[in-house]
């Protein structure tokens, strides 16, 4: 999914994205901590769940058609002068395959995925994707191990804040979880830009309190919101 389309889903304009970047920069001036933000359309493709559901629906279609065998034969007989026996078998196969393929195609709709995939699995996927980005983006390797990642996953409707070890020694994860929950509510209320900016400021306030800026205070990570174009 293209970055613009992902941003549009949260109604984030280029001006909003720039304001978020400026807010991160301003908040980091007062702290030796680093604030990174990432947004992804989904944290996994959940292809196994989608395929399993599609196959199950195909099997249900076959089971429903079985008692209608006589009616189907009569229907097909009306269209052909001579009805070979394999036509009925072919009809069953085509019907079941078509239902399976069609459902698999539409199963990528986020609302359907949220029904097919158990919440625990979605939550685990978001956590794993956040940790992966935390590592890949270098948030884990700041000088004082004082980086945090604010991670937003759209399909799952979940937010994670991952803090490095230097921060975890002083700030309990429950504080970050509370901030993440507040951000998720703001996004749900369609106030994504305001909620993200408020979250950055709240995180900046906490980091400034526990990790005030030093004389040498380099900007170790890019400021602003990073859009990940895929869940893998």
Full pLDDT tens readout for the chain, 232 residues: 688 899 999 999 999 999 999 999 999 999 999 999 999 999 998 988 999 999 999 999 999 888 887 787 777 777 776 767 777 778 889 999 999 999 998 887 888 889 899 999 999 999 999 999 999 999 999 999 999 999 999 999 999 999 999 999 999 999 999 999 999 999 999 999 999 999 999 999 999 999 999 988 888 898 999 999 765 5
Domain check: are 211 and 138 in the same one?
A: yes
Residue 182 lies in a domain: yes
Reduced 3-state DSSP string for 144-170: CCCEEEEEEECCCCEEEEEECHHHHCC
Domain check: are 39 and 62 in the same one?
A: no
DSSP 3-state of 121:
helix
Domain check: are 171 and 75 in the same one?
A: no
Instruction: Compute the distance between CA of residue 184 and CA of residue 186 in angstroms, rounded to an integer.
Output: 5
Domain check: are 76 and 102 in the same one?
A: yes
Number of domains in the chain: 2
Domain boundary residue, one of 114, 142, 164: 114
Sheet containing 147-153: give its strands across.
Answer: 158-163, 147-153, 34-40, 225-227
Domain check: are 128 and 221 in the same one?
A: yes
Instruction: Compute the distance between CA of residue 202 and CA of residue 177 in angstroms, rounded to an integer.
Output: 12
The domain that holds 211 is classified in CATH as 3.10.310.50
Note the pLDDT of residue 4: 87
Note the pLDDT of residue 81: 66
Domain check: are 32 and 84 in the same one?
A: no
Residue 156 lies in a domain: yes
DSSP 177-198: HHHHHHHHHHHHTT-HHHHHHH
- The separation between the first and the last C-alpha atoms of the chain, rounded to the nearest angstrom, is 12
Two tokens at 26? 């301003």
Note the pLDDT of residue 231: 53
Residue 14 lies in a domain: yes
Instruction: Compute the distance between CA of residue 179 and CA of residue 201 in angstroms, rounded to an integer.
Output: 11
Domain check: are 131 and 108 in the same one?
A: no
Domain check: are 144 and 38 in the same one?
A: yes
Domain boundary residue, one of 81, 114, 147: 114
Domain check: are 171 and 199 in the same one?
A: yes
- Cα angle vertex 171, ends 170, 172, to 5°? 120
Domain check: are 149 and 70 in the same one?
A: no
Instruction: Compute the distance between CA of residue 116 and CA of residue 85 in angstroms, rounded to an integer.
Output: 37
Domain check: are 125 and 180 in the same one?
A: yes
| 151: containing domain | 3-44+118-227
Domain check: are 34 and 73 in the same one?
A: no
The model carries a pTM of 0.85
Residue 232 lies in a domain: no
Domain boundary residue, one of 65, 87, 114: 114
């Amino acid at each position: 999914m293209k970055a613009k389309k992902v941003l549009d889903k949260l109604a984030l304009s280029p001006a909003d994205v720039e304001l978020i970047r400026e807010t991160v920069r301003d908040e980091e001036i007062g702290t030796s901590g680093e604030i990174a933000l990432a947004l992804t359309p989904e944290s996994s493709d959940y292809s196994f769940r989608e395929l399993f559901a599609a196959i199950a629906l195909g099997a249900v279609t076959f089971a429903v058609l079985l008692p209608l065998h006589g009616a189907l034969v009569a229907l097909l007989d009306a269209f052909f002068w001579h009805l070979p026996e394999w036509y009925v078998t072919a009809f069953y196969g085509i019907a079941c395959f078509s239902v399976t393929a069609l459902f698999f195609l539409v199963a990528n709709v986020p609302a359907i995925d949220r029904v097919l995939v158990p919440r625990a699995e979605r939550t685990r996927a978001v956590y794993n994707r956040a940790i992966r980005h935390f590592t890949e983006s270098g948030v884990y390797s700041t000088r004082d191990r004082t980086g945090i990642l604010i991670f937003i996953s759209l399909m799952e409707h979940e937010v994670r804040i991952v803090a490095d070890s230097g921060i975890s020694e002083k700030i309990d994860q429950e504080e970050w979880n509370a901030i993440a929950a507040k951000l998720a509510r703001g996004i749900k209320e369609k106030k994504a830009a305001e909620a993200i900016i408020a979250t950055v400021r709240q995180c900046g306030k906490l980091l400034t309190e526990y990790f005030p800026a030093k004389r040498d205070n380099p900007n170790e990570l890019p400021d602003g919101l990073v859009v990940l174009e895929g869940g893998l």
